[in-house]
Amino acid sequence: MNSLLPLLIFMVATVVAWRSPRIGVWLTVLAIPAYVIKFTVGPIPTTLVEIILWGTAVGWLVRQPVVNLRALISSYRPLRWQLVLLAVGLVVGVAVSGDLRLSLGIVKGWFIDPILLYGLILVLLDRRSINLLVPLLLLSTLPISIMAIGQALTGHFITIDHRASAWFISANYLSLYLVPILLLGTSMLFDPGYRRPAPFYWIVSIPGLIALYFSYSYGGWLAMVAGGLVIGIWQFRHRWQFWVGSAAVALLAAATQITNERITRMINFKLQSSASVRLQVWAADWLMVKEHWLTGIGLGRYPARYPEFVTRLFPTPLEPAMLHAHNVYLQFIINLGFIGLVAFGSLVVTFFRWVRHCQSHWATPLTAAMTALLVHGLVDTPYWKNDLSLVFWILLAIAAVAGRPKEFKAPL
């Protein structure tokens, strides 16, 4: 697109953030699914949400350049060792890649951008203002949920497997975005500080749950169940209704899905299905890890090198082309080497350490959302994508803010 439009958007975001930095952060969060709107500024590819994010950062920094820059740098100190490990892995991933433009684009879109948003949330939002971040994040799911439901009702799907995906190229991408946000949104139900939260939560969440169903993403369903169990056990474990209701839902799911043709194909590994394909993908992934565990194969090189590895194991693979490893843990090793996995693991450990200091209305939804992400990560990659990486770092940021002492005052 013409570079004049992204420049205009950047200028508007800068002015808005200069007047009210918090509004800039909230607009960035609300626009996350709009990363699919892409621009090119000179030789640099960018997205709508990235332009709003950087406009917000610039608008805030120019207010008090020295003071605000110091505050931003200070926000990263609790994660300094994790960020050092991540930086080392990224340097190695770029060096090994051989495609400088592609690998630097990944560093910018999937690491620098979300880490910048993390820092802005920490310095601009306090425990009171963080309450508005979750409804906006939840609201960002509404357009894609409505579109996905429309696809299911009309039969006008854009994926070859005829599953609801909204404007994403895969139905799994839809579920990967929806699940942690829907679970995080339950904080509105447990926090007495919200005014009449239930109507808003259910009005926005019900379309998301319907869209998740029509995505037919079993990984997404499994992640939602895992997160739901965290909430149920934490909040309602002493109520017999919870255990009876959980058993009823499990039996209903089993009864309605056991005869599903997709389930039948999945358990028959002689037929091509998502399960049989994943088994071959994971076998190829392990071969990559075995041979390149220290450095990985390089950022962005997985689609190009997957055929080389899978055909060594399966002369006629079920899927000769693959975009990612279908496992977030293997993907970190494959892209960044073992140090990348260590960095990711240490971030997750830090997250749960921070959650321990949160009040219960935050601790439960945050734990549920991250649990769902990690469970989904066993069969898919809930990080290596613009919107998903932003969601991961937003969870970290909310845990950090919610776990801070009440006396903390965020600089504005």
Nearest-angstrom CA–CA distance, 129 and 24: 13
Sequence length of the chain is 412
pLDDT of residue 395: 97
Interval 253-261 mean pLDDT: 55
With a cut of 70, say whether residue 136 has pLDDT above it. Answer: yes
Give residue 189's pLDDT band: very low, low, confident or very high (50, 70, 90).
confident
Nearest C-alpha neighbor of 51 from the set 35, 72, 68: 35
Nearest-angstrom CA–CA distance, 293 and 277: 23
Mean pLDDT of the chain: 88
Q: In terms of C-beta distances under 8 Å and separation of at least 24 residues, what long-range contacts does 347-354 make, across chains too?
A: 347/79, 347/82, 347/86, 347/396, 348/374, 350/78, 350/79, 350/82, 350/396, 351/395, 351/396, 351/399, 354/396, 354/399, 354/400, 354/402, 354/403
Q: Token pair of 329, please? A: 């843990």
Nearest-angstrom CA–CA distance, 244 and 250: 10
Interval 47-75 mean pLDDT: 95
Contact 350, 78 (CB under 8 A): yes
Extents of the domains making up the chain:
1-63, 81-238+273-412
Each residue's pLDDT tens digit, 283-335: 999 999 999 999 999 999 999 999 999 999 999 998 999 999 999 999 999 99
Give residue 258's pLDDT band: very low, low, confident or very high (50, 70, 90).
low
- Give the pTM: 0.92
317 Cβ contact list (under 8 Å, min separation 6): 280, 307, 310, 311
Contact 172, 153 (CB under 8 A): no
Considering Cα of 27, then 391, then 162, then 39, what sign does the dihedral take?
Answer: positive
CA distances from 330 to 85, 283, 327 (A): 17, 11, 6
Question: In sequence order, which ranges of 155-217 are alpha helices (DSSP H)?
Answer: 171-184, 187-190, 197-215
247 Cβ contact list (under 8 Å, min separation 6): none
Contact 14, 61 (CB under 8 A): no
Contact 403, 357 (CB under 8 A): yes
41 Cβ contact list (under 8 Å, min separation 6): 3, 6, 7
With a cut of 80, say whether residue 184 has pLDDT above it. Answer: yes
With a cut of 60, say whether residue 248 has pLDDT above it. Answer: no
Each residue's pLDDT tens digit, 147-171: 999 999 998 988 888 899 999 999 9
Longest alpha-carbon distance in the chain: 64
With a cut of 50, say whether residue 6 has pLDDT above it. Answer: yes
pLDDT of residue 29: 96
